[in-house]
Every structure is written in C-alpha cells, then in structure tokens.
Structure 1
Amino acid sequence: MRQIFSRQHTWLLMLAVAMMLSACGFKMRGPVSLPFHSIYVALPEASPLGAELRRQIHANGQTQVMESADGAEVIMDVLQESREKQILSLNSQGRVREYTLLYNFTFRLRNAQGKEYLEPVKMQLKRTLTFNEAVVLAKESEEATLYHDMQIDLVQQIMRRLAVVKVGD
C-alpha cells in the first residue's frame, strides 16, 4: 500500500512540474529567425568570430551571407573587436594569482544607404582565469578555451540582437 501511495505522489508531482513549465512560457531555444534576407558581415574571412557568426547566420536557412556589401539588405559594421588580459589579484610574493579576460565587441547594423537599423551596440564578456607558474602551458590552453567559449557566447548574443531588429523603409 505504501509503494502505490508513493507512485501516485510521484506522478502527481511530475504532472504538476510539467504544467508549471508549460504555464510559465518556457520554451527551448531553437534556430534564430532573422528579419532580413541578406547580410554582409564586415569581419575578415580569417577571423574566428566572423567564421562562427557566418556559420550561425547560414544555419538559420533563411538569411544569405553576402561576400560584399553590394546587394546586401543589411550591413553589419564592426566598430571594435578586442581581447584584453588584466591582472585581477596577486599573491603575497607579488606574483599574479588571477587574471580577468575581457572580450570587447561593438557593432552596428545599417543598410547600403546608411540608415541605421541598430545603433552601435557594445558588448563585453568577462571570465576569470586562475594562474599557476607550475603549469603555464595548461593555463595557456585554458585561456584559449575561455576565449573560444566567450566567442561562442558572443555570437549567440549577436544573433539574438539581430533577431529583434526592425528592418523596413
């Protein structure tokens, strides 16, 4: 009798959780739908950020990434892209114990005639990197991984901003 009572409570609890999730508007993130048909991204072909951004735009299946600004419905101008490494803390001997990694990115969205659809947007991502002189190579690899993760996060943020742009005459 005890086991049946427990199963009933488990099913009721699972049903209640499912109802609460559906009632709150929870929805898994799917592909981002962009409100324009073609875009030119003013980042070099060799740029890892540019390659990832182009791949994400192409993956939505509705927007074409143009090779030049000619003929593109919108143009994404990159005003700043920089990486910084700042000392966050020192140990008692004055050696670095932690760094702050910064990824700064600023862009705007406009058409070929210069009409801005999105004023300059500044984004800054931060990560903390602990440092140990005994494992310098491992920490360099960790730093590269953190910058790569920031780049992926930045691309997702850019895609969400592009998705809400109002394009029109």
Structure 2
Amino acid sequence: MRILGSGVRRTGRWGGGGQADSSAPPLSPLHPQLKHPLLPLSGSQPVAPATPRGRPPRALAGLDPACQLRSLPLQVKELGLGYASDETIVFRYCAGRCPRARTQHALILARLLQGQAEWHGLGEPCCRPTGYEDVAFLDNQHHWHHLPQLSAGGCSCVG
C-alpha cells in the first residue's frame, strides 16, 4: 500500500520514505452506517451521551480528548472529488474539545447570552485548523494531481 499525504509525509514507491503520523489514534473508517465515523478505534472509551443541551456531563467530559490533529487514511475516490485513483492519502483534520476561554470577552458574552436558547453555543471556542497542507496523488492514468489546502496542518481552539 502506498500512502501519500500532506506535505512531505510520503511513503512507498512514489514518496521519499518516512512514516505517516502515528501519534494520533487510529480512526474508524467512513461508513454510511456509523453514527460518528471519526471516533478512535479499539482501546478507546465510548463517547458520553449528550445531555438535553447537547453537551456531555462534566463528570464524563474527560472522555473527549482535547483539540488535536488527527489522521485518517482514505482512498482518493472516497474524497468524492471525481478522481479515478486507487491511491491512499492521509487526510488530516482537527477534532476534540476546547475549554471555555476565561477572557473578559468570553465572560461578558456568556452573561449576555445566558438564557437565550436560540444563541446556545455561540461564542464557545471550537477546534479548528490553524493552517493547511497540500496533498498530491497519482491517478489510475499515471497523472499527478495536486490538491491545495486539502489537509489540516495544525489545530487550535478558536473563539
């Protein structure tokens, strides 16, 4: 299997050696029957059921890892961009929880929005990419394709 990925992290016949990032936990494959296709695979704890407000109870909040860069090996055809390729790329994305900011702005916004159900979640920090990386792959006709800014390059809590 050849894994081509973002930046210079390429392996196999067409790449420059090296390994894919193994610091992130392996993720379950995308599948129509999965409710949440981006959960870590074996050895992980189940995600806590959401409360009526859509947030996990505080006691179970530790089950959701902090905001971090994660990797998901995908075949190019699974991207849904119309390329005929059997290549596998490493798609990087950001996921995880972000602590509430203790800035003056966050405190005032939380107070103003208190009891405003239609504004629930507004102003809370979320895990987002801080930069992006390009991905290159070889299609079945042996042509190279370059997809700019396809994969996340780093993550941070924003907001």
Q: TM-score range by the shorter chain?
A: under 0.3
TM-score normalised per structure 2:
0.26
Q: Which has the larger radius of gyration?
A: 1
Identify which of structures 1 and 2 has the higher relative contact order when contacts are C-alpha pairs closer than 8 Å and 6+ apart: 2
Question: Larger % of helix: which?
Answer: 1
